[in-house]
Amino acid sequence: MIKKINLKNVASYCETPAILETDKRINLIYGLNGTGKTTFSKYLQDKDNVCFSDCSITGLNNEKVLVYNQKFILDNFYQDTQKGIFSLKSENKEAKLKIDKATETIKILSSQIKNDVLKTGYQFDLEKKQKDIENLQLLSEEKIWEINTKYWGEDRSFNFCLERKMGSKAVLFKYISEIHKPSAKLEKSVGDLKKEIEATQSENAKTYDESLIKKINYNFSEIEKHEIFKEVIIGNENSQVAKLINKLDNSDWVKKGKGFIGEPEENNETCPFCQQRTISKNLYKEINNYFDESYQNKIKDLENLNSEYLAERQNVENIENNLFDVVFIKAKETEFKLLTKNLMNKLNSNCLKISNKIKSPNLVVALGSSILEQEAINSFLDTIIGEIRIHNDKVINKQNTKNQIVKDFWDIMRWDYDQTIENYKAQKEKFEKEKLGISTKISELNKNIEEQRATIKDAQKEMINVQDAIDAINSELIYFGLDGFSIVPAGEESYKLKRPNEDVTKFETLSEGEKTVISFLYFLELCKGKENNDEVATEKIVVIDDPISSLSHMYVFNVAQLIRKNFFNEDYEQVFILTHNLYLFHELIKYTEKNKKNDREKLFRIIKNQKKESAILEMSNDEIMNDYQSYWKIIREHDQQNSTNSSLANSMRNILEYFFGFIDNEKYEKAIEKLSDNKYSYFLRYINRESHFDRVNISDTKEIEPLIFKDAFEKIFEDSGHIEHYNKMMEKE
């Protein structure tokens, strides 16, 4: 039963919404003319009208909403005939029993639907769950929006990845949620993508010549496995000094010393080692014989191999230095330096061993193989060449590369924000399953309701009529003392108004009071009956907007009695009654006060604040005063409360009518005659209107001068001899 009505951006309801929330069956709403009561009733009457696009109502299910206001009168009574109201006769007890039973079943089923209570007894709060999902989505959208914060930056590197996806947080969240999560995390990072964008998409993007990458293809291996390094190189064994040199194992020492002496001219030449004259021509000859041609050739071979090895090593070093300038190698500088260092260490080690072999030919040395180091470098260079080819292809096919970057970027984002997305999907899926379960149960309940309605429709055919409503309306007209016209059948399914001497009585010819009474009686019967003979009983919400226009107090009392008798019961889901008339308001409250134990009514006030914006406030019984007192209160507080000029003038007119109509109308007329000054002419014209609903008065409120009106109002009481009453009501005493 809880209804929450939200009025916003229509008529006098502005950006700050006016909200009426109630869980009571009877709702009485008081408000002066122009505060927004009619807008309230029109919204409930025509919720889908575009002018109410910012308004909303929650808690409304399939209830039928019946609204009595000026639009209802225009729609139903300014034609020659009125649509018939279909009532049910109670003579067919069997049919009535079927209808009553089916109606009760519908109420029970409808109650289950409204309360979201399933036969299992488990209660779902769909609205709360929906709100939870919406809040979760907002939080998820906020988290995903970090992408915009991080990557829609000043450098604009990733802007093309984000184009047409940043319209709103909801748009971005929807886009990334629909991306299929990659099976594994991409090897690329966002930093890698940024480098790729700079290398392939910028104005400076270019291709590179892969031929600049020279692999190492030198003859290190042949030298490193040469047999000469394993050979012990010694001199001529037939030399007389061979035995001594071999015994002392000092051929290297002798060879070095030999370089310091020449062929002796005499028998005894100075020895370069002991500085004694011990070198004879014969000894010199024997030493030379020891280092014969065979020995020298082997030494020459060692020296040639050394020269070749050193040259190849220098070539490697030159290539290494040149390759450091290649941008793709710079990106892997540490790895490349380590590989080249390993190779150079191996080559340098071998060079040292070769040098030692040359110095000491009798040594056996084993050169290390540099094959693995060369292969490691060449494999690295093959990778670089592959990267250059890939890069060149990306630059040549720039758009394809761009498309792939976009895909990679969003795959990375999808992976990074997977927890946020999957959590939302899981929660939403769980909610949708619960919602589907509830919807399925509700569908079953609705199906049962339709079956009961079909039963009612069949039973109604046996007992429906349009005459009962005619009889009820005419009976109430007599009760109101209106016997100058009646309502009669006009065909099988319509009515018409009729005076005794007229075939058709035009609605326009009725007095204002008669129009109000007949239209309200028709509305009352419509609420009790049906608009057509196929209509099935349903829950109803009744809205009554000021049903006492131009009625005397006696008529107002009778209308209040009708409302209490027909609407203050269990027949209707909820009733909303709006009025500016405190007398009617009091009469209705008297009834609710007697039934306070039922706790089924709620009171509201519609006001206009200082900005002339309508607002709806709850009110209690002790806030209400009678008509006469409230009119004086409006005059007293006009300046402080910033009330409208029309409410000020209207209050003055009602006070004068009430007071002098009861006390002394003759003195009132004389006091009016004394206000001959032209400045009071508009005041006099305004208060002498026959009805406060006069449209001219409403449109002319801009001409009201509050100070002049207040001055004239006081003069009337003074000139009529009732200034004491004026002072008391204005609280001047």
Is 173 a residue whose pLDDT tops 60? yes
Q: Which of 13-27, 44-58, 212-226, 650-664 is predicted least confidently?
A: 650-664
DSSP state of 187: S
Residue 705's pLDDT is 84
Q: Other C-beta atoms within 10 Å of 422: how many? A: 12
Confidence of residue 591 (pLDDT cuts 50, 70, 90): low
pLDDT at position 242: 54
How confident is the model over 550-563, as pLDDT tens digits?
A: 666 567 778 888 89
Cβ density class 610-622: b for 16+ within 10 Å, e for less: eeeebbbeeeeee
163: phi then psi, degrees, rounded to nearest 5 = -60, 140
Interatomic CA distance for residues 248 and 243, integer angstroms: 9
Q: How confident is the model at residue 593 (pLDDT cuts 50, 70, 90)?
A: low
Residues 428-464: pLDDT tens digits? 888 888 778 777 777 887 788 778 777 776 766 565 6
Across residues 66-91, what is the average pLDDT?
80
Q: How confident is the model at residue 692 (pLDDT cuts 50, 70, 90)?
A: very low
pLDDT reported for residue 700: 47
Sheet strand arrangement including 18-22: 18-22, 3-7, 56-58
Residue 696 has pLDDT above 50, yes or no: no
Contact residues for 512 (Cβ-Cβ < 8 A; gap 6+): 549, 550, 691
> Which of 33, 61, 68 shows the shortest CA–CA distance to 575?
68
pLDDT of residue 264: 63
| Whether residue 673 has pLDDT greater than 50 | yes
Residue 6 pLDDT: 93
The model's pLDDT over 91-110, given as tens digits with 9 standing for 90+, comes to 556 666 777 787 778 778 77
How far, in Å, CA of 197 to CA of 191, rounded? Answer: 10
- Which stretch, 12-16, 582-586, 616-620, has highest mean pLDDT? 12-16
Which pLDDT value is given to residue 691?
A: 39
Mean pLDDT for all residues in the chain: 80
Instruction: Give the per-residue pLDDT at 213.
Output: 83
pTM: 0.49
pLDDT tens for 710-724 read 999 999 999 988 998
pLDDT above 60 for 89: no
pLDDT one-digit tens code per residue, 308-356:
899 888 888 887 777 766 788 888 888 988 998 999 999 999 999 998 8
Q: Which helix (H) or strand (E) holds 666?
A: helix 665-674
Q: What DSSP string runs through 93-122?
A: HHHHHHHHHHHHHHHHHHHHHHTTB-TTS-
Number of Cα atoms under 13 Å in the Cβ half of residue 523: 30
Higher pLDDT: 377 or 153? It is 377
Token couple for 86: 């279909």
How does pLDDT run across 242-286, given as a tens digit for each residue?
A: 555 565 555 555 655 555 566 666 666 667 666 666 666 556 655
Residue showing tokens 């309605």: 453
Nearest CA among 102, 173, 119 for reference residue 141: 173
Which of 715-720's residues contact partners 24+ apart within 8 Å by CB, and which partners?
A: 715/671, 715/674, 715/675, 716/656, 716/668, 716/671, 716/672, 716/675, 717/671, 719/670, 719/671, 719/674, 720/660, 720/664, 720/667, 720/668, 720/670, 720/671
Query: What CA dihedral angle connects 507, 510, 512 and 517, to 10 degrees?
Result: -80
Q: Residues 8-54: pLDDT tens digits?
A: 999 999 999 999 999 899 999 988 788 899 999 999 999 999 999 99
Could you tell me the CA-to-CA distances from 444 to 512, 538, 666 in Å, in that order? Answer: 50, 18, 73
The pLDDT of residue 119 is 41
pLDDT of residue 294 exceeding 80 = no
For the segment 578-603, the average pLDDT, to the nearest whole number, is: 73
Per-residue confidence at 232, pLDDT binned at 50, 70, 90?
confident
Return d(Cα 103, Cα 449) in angstroms, integer.
9
Residue among 449, 446, 441 nearest 118 (CA): 441
Please report, rounded to a whole number, the percentage of residues in the chain having pLDDT higher than 70: 78
**Could you give the angle at the alpha carbon of 475 between the alpha carbons of 471 and 477, nearest 5°?**
120
**3-state SS, residue 261:** coil
Does pLDDT of 584 surpass 90?
no
End-to-end CA distance of the chain: 49
Highest mean predicted confidence (pLDDT) among 236-245, 421-430, 643-652: 421-430
Asked whether residue 628 carries a pLDDT value surpassing 80, the answer given is no
Can you give the pLDDT at residue 401?
86
Task: Return the pLDDT at 267.
Answer: 64
Phi, psi of 529 (to 5 degrees): -105, -145
Q: Which of 77-91, 181-195, 270-284 has the highest mean pLDDT?
A: 181-195
591 vs 191, higher pLDDT? 191
Is the pLDDT reported for residue 690 higher than 80? no
Q: How confident is the model at residue 188 (pLDDT cuts 50, 70, 90)?
A: confident
Residue 317 — φ and ψ, nearest 5°?
-65, -40
Q: Does the pLDDT value for residue 702 go beyond 60?
A: no
**Amino acid 44: pLDDT:** 93
**pLDDT over 90 for what percent of the chain?**
17
Strands 64-68 and 540-545: parallel
At 595, give phi and psi (nearest 5°). -115, 30
